[in-house]
Amino acid sequence: MTSLLQQWVTEQAERRPDATAVVMHDARLTYGQLEAASNQLARMLKAAGCERGDRVCLALPKSPVAIVSMLGILKADCIYIPIDPSSPVPRVAKIVQSGEPRVILAGPRTASLLDGLLSDERLGKSASVAWMDTERLPGERFNPAFSLGDVQRASTSPVNYRNSPGDPAHILFTSGSTGTPKGVVISHANVIHFVNWARRYFGLGPADRMSSHPPLHFDLSTFDVFGTFAAGAQLHLVPPDLSLLPNALAEFIRASELTQWFSVPSLLSYMAKFDVVEFNDFPTLRRLLWCGEVFPTPALRYWMARLPNVTFTNLYGPTEATIASSYYTVPRCPEDDRAAIPIGTPCEGEELLVLDEALRRVSPGEVGELYIRGVGLSPGYWRDPEKTQAAFLHNPFSSDPADRIYRTGDLAKIGDDGLVYFLGRADSQIKSRGYRIELGEIETALNAMSCLQECAVVAIPTHGFEGTMICCAYVPRPAVSVTPAELRRELAKVLPAAMLPSRWMAFERLPRNANGKFDRRQLQEAFANHETVIARTT
């Protein structure tokens, strides 16, 4: 029985070394090659001084090399931190500072990111760089501890590892409401529990050809990668440049003969909007799974009507509870666009609790806050006991002090059918294009701009790809004139594209409620009523 994530690959490599494991464009890695290459990298990382529990940043775009790297890092007893290569340097720097990696793995497509990181004194000194490409380093900018050529010359024999299942496998950084991304620590055991359940429930096997659409810093990708390896199946990496092109994606599913597609719903809605799916399209596809946000019923109906032979499953769960905690396989195409699709029932080993403010169970039909208990719960936030304590509480129904529940911040109810229904958020976390975003992180970045007196960021629902539109209401400092375009440009230097507001409104002062707080509801209405931008005074 597998107890560490990398062992799935080793098992497949022993039994079926020539079976295809990873595919991207014309590149293809067999299980044997994946095993050998990850052994080589593990060896080099150890030689570079990596020890059990050290962090290694994965600053590589999705590619076969990135997958080899994930495994090599685990085999070196280390923890990988996947970095969003498209994120601006200051945000990545916060993650790297917090993670304190021993090594940063980078390549040509992340060279300028790396340049920016290394110019920061604190980072430049502590971490060494490994250059994961055979192409020569541009100039003499970095002095890597080793490069891909060295890795390829290393011995392919297995390395001994000492990790145990409770050790962290990776840290996934998500948006933090106070302006600093928070690192969710995920153990080997967390992922293995989910994958083992999913393998049984979905009947995954060696004949499967799985999509890998979400980027590697999203927790959904963990299921793509390790679900595939657990099943001895093929992982088909969706090239990032296709990932937002509806027609190209449909063609990718056809050409790769995928049996499973897994992504955030906003992408599926986008494909539905462009009507890129034919009736009985994708003849090999057996399962379509989504997670991360509500899949609007009209778009779900579009997909189900076109693909009557495919099984559609809604997976629900936050990163803090590892990939997904509950599931609902939609039995038939809903007849009504307004039909609510439940988040269903807990996956094996998980429990969903709908509680009131005093942590008492609410009656069926009543709205409460959703808590999760079970095998997927992260040990907590990286080096942040305060946030960990605030979100991971003692289970009030248990006398075991180690029994914890995670406060999701989601509102939910248990329906008459006994299934759980997601009803929205209790706070200002949103999803936009599938990205988890704390509006507070955007506000913190805006508040750091000297041209603004005050600002509030709110979200309004849309019917488009974004799902939710981020809107910024701002008051310039007296005698300062600043345009939305200028603000956006400045903000783009510190936040990734998905976090940039798409609507802006200037105010003389922001509306406040009786408590003196910004009246966010009034602001939402103001934005909802204004199609275009966007200079306004009160």
Does 474 participate in binding ligand AMP (rule CB under 6 A)? no
Sign for the pseudo-dihedral over CA of 299, 302, 303, 308? positive
Residue 174 or 211: the one with the smaller Cβ distance to ligand AMP is: 174
Contact range with ligand AMP by CB under 6 A, out of 9-17, 46-54, 286-294, 495-503? 286-294
Does 318 participate in binding ligand AMP (rule CB under 6 A)? yes
CB-based contacts of 389, cutoff 8 Å, min separation 6: none
Q: Where are the beta strands (DSSP E) in 182-249?
A: 182-187, 209-212, 234-237
Contact between residue 439 and residue 428 where contact means Cβ atoms under 8 Å apart: yes
CA distance 242 to 124: 34
CA distance 492 to 201: 42
CA distance 185 to 374: 15
Give one word for 317, left, alpha or beta, with left for phi > 0 and alpha for psi -120 to 50: left
| Cα–Cα distance list, 510 to 144, 245, 448, 490 (Å) | 51, 38, 18, 21
Binding mask 234-253 for ligand AMP (x = CB under 6 A): --------------------
- H/E element, 40: helix 31-47
- H/E element, 346: strand 345-346
> Quick one: tokens of 478?
């007296």
Smallest gap from Cβ 182 to ligand AMP, in A, equals 11
Contact range with ligand AMP by CB under 6 A, out of 75-83, 314-322, 347-355, 372-380? 314-322
Does 5 participate in binding ligand AMP (rule CB under 6 A)? no
Burial level of 508, CB count in 10 A (0-12/13-18/19+)? exposed
Residue 104 or 437: the one with the smaller Cβ distance to ligand AMP is: 437
Interactions with ligand AMP, residue window 388-407 (CB under 6 A): none
- Binder to ligand AMP among 77, 167, 208, 410 (CB under 6 A)? 410
Does 368 participate in binding ligand AMP (rule CB under 6 A)? no
Q: C-alpha 457: how far from its chain's center?
A: 22
- Binder to ligand AMP among 294, 405, 412, 494 (CB under 6 A)? 294
Interactions with ligand AMP, residue window 200-219 (CB under 6 A): 219
> Quick one: tokens of 403?
């029994």
Contact range with ligand AMP by CB under 6 A, out of 108-116, 156-164, 311-319, 489-497? 311-319
Residues near ligand AMP (CB under 6 A), total: 19
Smallest gap from Cβ 153 to ligand AMP, in A, equals 39
Binding mask 163-182 for ligand AMP (x = CB under 6 A): -----------x--------
Residue 16 or 425: the one with the smaller Cβ distance to ligand AMP is: 425
- Binder to ligand AMP among 54, 293, 350, 519 (CB under 6 A)? 293
CA distance 252 to 238: 8
- H/E element, 113: helix 111-118
Selection from 520, 465, 40, 15 nearest residue 244 by Cα: 465
Interactions with ligand AMP, residue window 120-159 (CB under 6 A): none
- Binder to ligand AMP among 408, 432, 444, 468 (CB under 6 A)? 408
- Binder to ligand AMP among 291, 412, 420, 498 (CB under 6 A)? 291
Does 343 participate in binding ligand AMP (rule CB under 6 A)? yes
The residue type of 179 is: G
Look at the chain and count its residues: 538
Does 297 participate in binding ligand AMP (rule CB under 6 A)? no
Does 314 participate in binding ligand AMP (rule CB under 6 A)? yes
Smallest gap from Cβ 218 to ligand AMP, in A, equals 7
CA distance 308 to 322: 30
- Binder to ligand AMP among 292, 342, 368, 501 (CB under 6 A)? 292
> Quick one: tokens of 189?
């055991």
Q: C-alpha angle 464/467/472, rounded to 5°?
A: 100
Smallest gap from Cβ 520 to ligand AMP, in A, equals 18
Smallest gap from Cβ 323 to ligand AMP, in A, equals 8
Contact between residue 465 and residue 269 where contact means Cβ atoms under 8 Å apart: yes
Does 319 participate in binding ligand AMP (rule CB under 6 A)? yes
Contact range with ligand AMP by CB under 6 A, out of 226-234, 285-293, 354-362, 515-523? 285-293
Selection from 34, 453, 429, 416 nearest residue 234 by Cα: 34
Residue 109 or 425: the one with the smaller Cβ distance to ligand AMP is: 425
- Binder to ligand AMP among 173, 261, 302, 316 (CB under 6 A)? 316
Selection from 422, 470, 460 nearest residue 295 by Cα: 422
Does 307 participate in binding ligand AMP (rule CB under 6 A)? no
> Quick one: tokens of 377?
């719960």
Residues found near ligand AMP in the complex (CB under 6 A): 174, 219, 291-294, 314-319, 343, 408, 410, 422, 425, 431, 436
